Structure 1
Amino acid sequence: MIIIFGLSAFVSWRLRSKFNEYSQVGLSNNLSGAEVAQRMLNENGIYDVRVLSVEGMLTDHYNPQEKTVNLSADVYYGRSVAAAAVAAHECGHAVQHKVAYGPLRLRSALVPALSVSSRYLQWVILAGILLLQTTPIPLAIGVGLFALTTLFSFITLPVEFDASRRALAWVQNNGVVNQREYGYAKDALWWAAMTYVVAALGSLATLLYYASILMGGRRSD
């Protein structure tokens, strides 16, 4: 767990470092992130998705329910390689939504159950550990709920990698970036993807930890 925590901290630091670095590299065509996003949506035949500016840093995301591409101010107004890469990535999710990309549909289907379980998960786990010598049932339920969270984390991986693949292909094929800028964009999105990889591994490690407590308690009965 300590290794995972350290790796997560390193990847998060590296992502912010890369974003800051490539935010200083102006896009040769001088398009803003919002303009890149709108252009990618239009060229993929998507006209019912709005591009919005939201507060915060690295708060960029696509909302399939509201059909909005939400870009942080640095990305929305920025005219840098980082802004273009992030904007195109989020639009990659909109393209996934349009073509009914399987992993995205599966992840979206899990959201309602995950939102409910997340409210009670920590309390169920705590109660399960405290009551383990009496009954393993609460902890078993907690492990099951946490397994759902871990599953969600791993389903997220192909969704994020595919969105980056679509983004990079589009910015390259449509002349949004030159060869040098493409390399920077690819590097930035790779580090962004690594945050999801570390999160999934961290979730798996935690799941195995709780499962080991459950199995240890059952063997002691």
Structure 2
Amino acid sequence: MIWIIMIAMMLASWLVSWRLKSKFQQYSQIPLSSGLTGREVAEMMLRDNGITDVRVISVAGKLTDHYNPADKTVNLSEYVYEARSAAAAAVAAHECGHAVQHATAYNFLKFRSAMVPALSIASRYMQWILLIGILMLQSTPIPLAIGVALFALTTLFSFVTLPVEFDASRRALAWIDRRGIVTTQEHGMAKDALKWAAMTYVVAALGSLATLLYYASLLMGRRD
């Protein structure tokens, strides 16, 4: 049963990723009526929220957009940085939504950030510990139990990420409407693009949970 769920999650992940790229490509072809680039949208949203210590920079790759709280940068992929489309505006505003969360000490973002040091250590050793745990399962359950605990931490991180991402999109959509960045039709495109981006995090969290249940079932089976 667990294997069926894991395979279903893999297929769902592929489908959502394909759908996101398809939607982004579709909405990238439609010029933004306001004529603003992703960079200009980002800089405007930061100014409107009184954020003056965050830089907007361009990074290589596609769908590589992210906010880095460590150096306070909104990193926009090359296309989003320069493009004048509803998709670019949505992504740029979404990443600035994270900057606003940081500036206003949004609780879920604070919690997720506090988890990062422990998560970086866990992710470095987790796969090796799980492998050793499975190989040694017949003699001792301790390594696998440790691996399951570490994997549980990564799964928790995946689920804590969900409200952070949904809130950033909510802030982005509210702001681009209030500021008149998009028309009613463009708002629908922006909302749809961000919805599919958020779905990638939902599928990742569910996939992590399914994998955790698989390892936990191995551990419980050994104890039985």
- TM-score interval for Structure 1 and Structure 2 normalised by the shorter chain: over 0.9
Q: Quote the Cα distance in structure 1 between the aligned partners of 2:156 and 2:189.
A: 31
2:147 is the counterpart of 1:119:
no
* TM-score w.r.t. length of structure 2: 0.97
How big is the alpha-carbon RMSD for the aligned residues of Structure 1 and Structure 2?
0.3
Matched residue type, 1:181: E
For residue 129 of structure 1, what is the aligned residue in structure 2?
Answer: 134
Identical columns (%): 72
Q: CA deviation at 1:189?
A: 0.2
Q: Tell me the residue number matched to 1:201.
A: 206
Matched, 1:32 2:6: no
Partner deviation per Cα, 1:84-121 (whole Å, 9 max, x = no partner)? 00000000000000110000000000001001110111
1:16 is aligned to 21
Q: What is the aligned partner in structure 1 of residue 158 from structure 2?
A: 153
Distance 2:202 2:59 in 1: 25
SS of 2:87 mapped into structure 1? helix
Counterparts of 1:169 and 1:145, CA distance in 2: 37
SS in 1 for 2:75: strand
What amino acid is the match of 1:152? F
For 1:116 and 1:53, the matched residues in 2 are separated by 29
1:10, 1:177 → 2: CA distance? 28
Distance in 2 (CA, whole Å) between partners of 1:74 and 1:21 is 14
Aligned match of 1:43 = 48
Q: Paired residues, what number?
A: 219
In the TM superposition, what is the alpha-carbon distance from 1:218 to its structure 2 partner?
Answer: 1.1
Give, in whole Å, the separation in 1 of the partners of 2:167 and 2:211: 26
Match runs of 1:1-221 below 5 Å: 1-219=6-224
Distance in 2 separating the partners of 1:114 and 1:25: 40
Letter in structure 2 aligned against 1:148 = L
Structure 1 residue matching 2:127: 3-state secondary structure: helix
1:144-173 Cα distance to aligned partner (Å, 9 max, x none): 000000000000000000000000000001
TM-score by length of 1: 0.99
Supply the distance in 2 between the matched residues of 1:42 and 1:157 (Cα, whole angstroms): 26
Which structure 2 segments of 5+ residues have no match? 1-5
User: Which stretches of structure 1, 4 residues or more, deviate above 2 A after TM superposition?
Assistant: none
Q: Secondary structure at the match of 2:221?
A: helix
Q: Shift of the alpha carbon at 1:20?
A: 0.4
- Residue 138 of structure 2 aligns to a residue whose secondary structure is coil
Whichever residue aligns with residue 22 of structure 1, its letter is Y
Structure 1: stretches of 5+ with no match in the other structure: none
